[in-house]
């Protein structure tokens, strides 16, 4: 076997599907990425500063935080910033590899005046690498890339490749939230999660997954989906102990 490839920052090479860059950033966005992002990046996640992948305590990153929550793929940061503002006693950790989305989030963060959000401009698997078992009480996967072609379904974030780690880092009694407007992604997620008995779907009636969570801040993407006639789905799974 050949040697495992490494990135410039020393991280091992991993398959990554999706965009990392979009339109040319404006000067103010470049400035925020250069000056603000380093202050908000969760310490110990970047490979360059933690090549041994020592465990990181995410809750301790925010003084006095009672819990840590994780948002995977926060897009432009609307949900992340709203949740952080509404829950100042929670450390909100967000990860997003699309740098244009990170720049949007930084701008929203500055306008909101919050202090309890940390932003990782990279792959969620790098969070998994260093998170302790049960590190997060709530995990959000909002409108993930649907990868609609059948041959690309293995790229979907909710799947056999990532569910073992999602299960590991979700606290017992914690919740995994998935929002999507793609019916096939709902079916795919239900089938994939069914193989993990530690996740229990909480829905008892159709309205339980048709209505948003009580603290859900609607995003621009969701409003676009509604205008175009697509029904959002809100899936909640509780992490339960598995009896051997």
* DSSP letters spanning 190-239: HHHHTT-TTEEE---STHHHHSPPTT----HHHHHHHHTT---EEEEEEE
Q: Is 161 exposed, middle or buried (0-12, 13-18, 19+ CB in 10 A)?
A: middle
Residues 229, 234, 239: CA angle, nearest 5 degrees:
165
- pTM of the full structure: 0.91
What is d(CA 22, CA 25) in angstroms, rounded to the nearest whole number?
Answer: 8
Cβ-contact 97, 16 below 8 angstroms: yes
- Return the CATH class of domain 27-239: alpha beta
CA dist., res. 143 & res. 76, Å (int): 12
**CA 162/CA 156 separation, integer angstroms:** 9
Out of 145, 184, 208, 215, the active site residue is 145
The per-residue pLDDT for 146 is 82
| Per-residue pLDDT reduced to its tens digit, 73-92 | 998 999 999 999 999 999 99
Domain boundaries, the chain: 27-239
Is-catalytic flag, 123? Answer: no
| Residues 130-143: tens digit of each pLDDT | 999 999 999 999 99
Q: Give every CB contact of residue 16 below 8 A, 6+ residues apart in sequence.
A: 97, 123
Q: How many CB atoms lie within 10 A of CB 90?
A: 20
Residues 92-102 pLDDT 10s: 999 999 899 99
């Amino acid at each position: 076997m050949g040697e495992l490839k490494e990135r410039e920052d020393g991280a091992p090479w991993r398959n990554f599907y999706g965009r990392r860059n979009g339109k040319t950033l404006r000067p103010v966005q470049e400035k925020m990425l250069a000056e603000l992002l380093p202050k908000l990046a969760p310490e110990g996640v970047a490979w360059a500063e933690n090549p041994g992948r020592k465990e990181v305590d995410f809750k301790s990153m925010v003084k006095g935080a009672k819990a840590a929550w994780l948002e995977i793929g926060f897009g432009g940061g609307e949900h992340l910033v709203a949740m952080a503002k509404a829950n100042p006693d929670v450390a909100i950790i967000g990860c997003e590899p699309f740098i244009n989305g990170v720049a949007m989030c930084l701008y929203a963060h500055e306008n909101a005046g919050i202090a309890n959000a940390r932003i990782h401009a990279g792959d969620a698997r790098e969070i998994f690498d260093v998170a302790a078992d049960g590190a997060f009480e709530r995990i959000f996967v909002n409108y993930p890339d649907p990868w609609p072609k059948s041959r690309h379904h293995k790229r979907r974030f909710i799947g056999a490749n990532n569910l073992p780690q999602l299960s590991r880092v979700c606290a017992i009694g914690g919740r995994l939230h998935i929002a999507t407007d793609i019916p096939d992604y709902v079916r795919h997620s239900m089938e994939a999660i069914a193989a993990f008995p530690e996740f229990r779907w909480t829905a008892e009636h159709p309205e339980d997954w048709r209505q948003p969570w009580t603290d859900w801040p609607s995003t621009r993407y969701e409003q676009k989906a509604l205008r175009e006639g697509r029904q959002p789905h809100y899936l909640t799974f509780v992490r339960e102990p598995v009896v051997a």
